[in-house]
Amino acid sequence: MRIHVQNLPGDPQFAVTPAQWDAAAARAPDVSGGHAVTFGETPEAFQAAIGEAEAVVAQTGAVRRLFPADAPRLKLIYCTSAGLDSLAPFNWLPPGAALLNNRGTHGAKVSEYGIMALLMLAAGVPGFVTAQRAGRWAPRHGSVLAGRRVTVAGLGTLGGAVAEQAARFGMRVTGVRTRAEPHPACTEVVALDELDSVLGGTEFLALALPLTDATRGVLDRRRLALLPPGAGVVNIGRGALLDQDALCDALEGGHLSGAVLDVFVPEPVPPGHRLWTTPNLVMTPHVSADDPDTYVPLSLDIFFQNLRAFSDGEPLPNQFDTTRGY
């Protein structure tokens, strides 16, 4: 098979190197042999390869910039991201090509970020950071996580991993997903359109949904008001899942006790933006899910799993559903 690997220029932490490719190939010897593999990071390199390529492995930003393209033999486009909302609408997808994401790569890292964020909210760290900025000693004692109630919206790789960590710390976990199917880490699961019914009993709300037409703005001003006073919010999904201004208002007004956000609209957050000075808010610059030591190796392992399924004529485990949007 002709496989082309297209990297973004100037992103050494997350680019796929030939050495990483060879190492992953050695871990999947049954499906990795006999391919003609090319690497590129310029548009020219892409154009030189795409006409003959049967599979593309690419950073999502490269796909966004370089498609549509004349790719008559292309069967697989594997993006090294899980959320492909930035590629919508998907009318650029060549006919006959399946779009794949790297769902599964982010679990270990995001589970640590998620439990860190919940521990920070329970301990009051967003408030301490705000007090520190003002040079103010303001003790407030927080309780342990055991027995406390977290609602995790989204139970895919990200939300599922957070729910599992929260359960491990003894929290009572309510899950929210498209359909109310049970999840082993959750004491209850409700459908997304039942979200309102659980907000009043939610001490901590963690957003880990993909961004789709159904989830955009899901945490709006009305729903923020349904959270009990003193609740905390975590967002590791996409910035547009929530009404940022309403969230800032709820933090400034004291309805929420704190928030830990990793995703924003827009990114990067521009200088002077209101978010930077909102109290009781800890911001991290979209780093919650990506571990540079394991990201590319795990992504390539998942690619080879999908290549194996493709060779065997089986359903592709990481097929991205462009209609659902995840």
Residues of this chain that interact with its own copies (CB under 8 A) are 13, 108-109, 112-113, 115-116, 119-120, 122-125, 128-129, 131-133, 135-146, 169, 267-269, 271-273, 276-277, 282-288, 290-294
Q: Between 212 and 288, whose beta carbon lies closer to its own copies?
A: 288
Q: Which of 265, 266, 261, 263 is nearest to 250 (CA)?
A: 261
Q: CB 135 → its own copies: shortest distance, Å?
A: 4
Q: Which of 208, 154, 212 is nearest to 183 (CA)?
A: 154
Q: CB 152 → its own copies: shortest distance, Å?
A: 18
Q: Between 194 and 267, whose beta carbon lies closer to its own copies?
A: 267
Kindly write down the DSSP assignment for every residue of 311-322, as one continuous string.
HTTPPPTTB--T
Q: Which two tokens stand for residue 99?
A: 């779009």
Q: Between 57 and 120, whose beta carbon lies closer to its own copies?
A: 120
Would residue 19 be called left, alpha or beta, if left means φ above 0 and alpha means ψ between -120 and 50 degrees?
A: alpha
**Look-up of token digits 């640590």:** 112
d(CA 154, CA 206): 9
Q: Between 114 and 210, whose beta carbon lies closer to its own copies?
A: 114
Q: Which of 189, 144, 126 is nearest to 163 (CA)?
A: 189
d(CA 98, CA 38): 20
Q: Between 19 and 134, whose beta carbon lies closer to its own copies?
A: 134
Q: CB 266 → its own copies: shortest distance, Å?
A: 10
Q: CB 13 → its own copies: shortest distance, Å?
A: 6
Q: CB 302 → its own copies: shortest distance, Å?
A: 17
Q: Give burial (CB, 10 Å; 0-12/13-18/19+) of 252.
A: middle
Q: Which two tokens stand for residue 197?
A: 């019914």
Q: Between 138 and 225, whose beta carbon lies closer to its own copies?
A: 138
Q: CB 15 → its own copies: shortest distance, Å?
A: 13
Would residue 227 be called left, alpha or beta, if left means φ above 0 and alpha means ψ between -120 and 50 degrees?
A: beta
Q: CB 143 → its own copies: shortest distance, Å?
A: 4
Q: CB 181 → its own copies: shortest distance, Å?
A: 28
Q: Which two tokens stand for residue 175?
A: 């899950």
Q: Between 88 and 108, whose beta carbon lies closer to its own copies?
A: 108
CB-based contacts of 23-30 (< 8 A; 24+ apart in sequence): 23/297, 24/297, 24/300, 24/301, 24/303, 24/304, 25/304, 27/301, 27/304, 28/301, 28/304, 28/305, 28/307, 28/308, 30/308
Q: Between 92 and 169, whose beta carbon lies closer to its own copies?
A: 169
